[in-house]
Structure 1
C-alpha cells in the first residue's frame, strides 16, 4: 500500500514541476522585448557606411 502512495506522490510532484516550468517559460517568453530592424545598413569595402545617417559608431 505504501508503494502505491509513493508512486502517486512522485507523479503528483512531477506534474507540478512540469506545470511550473511550463508556466515560467510562458511568462518569460512574453516578458521579452523583441528587436526589429528599421532599415538595411551597408558597410562598403572602403569602410564607409550607407546610409550616412545610420545610427552606428565607426
Structure 2
C-alpha cells in the first residue's frame, strides 16, 4: 500500500472533522477549509492508487 493513500485518507478525515466543527460553530471559513482538505485527501488517495497500479503492472 502506498503511503499517499494513507496520508490521503488521514487528510480526508481531518478535513471532514474540520468541516463538521466549522458547521457546528457557524465558522464558514473553517468549514470551507475542511471541504478543501477533503478534496486534497481524495487527490492524494488517487495518486496512491495510480502508483499502486503502475507497480502492479511493472512487477
What TM-score do the two structures reach when normalised by structure 2?
Answer: 0.51
Look up the match of 2:47.
20
Q: In proportion to residue count, which structure has more strand?
A: 1
Which of the two has greater helix per residue? Answer: 2
1:27 CA drift (Å) = 0.7
Unaligned segments of structure 1, at least 5 residues: 33-58
Aligned length: 32
Runs of 4+ in 1 over 2 A off after TM superposition: none
Task: Identify the structure with bigger relative contact order (alpha carbons < 8 Å, sequence gap 6+).
Answer: 2
TM superposition score normalised by structure 1: 0.51
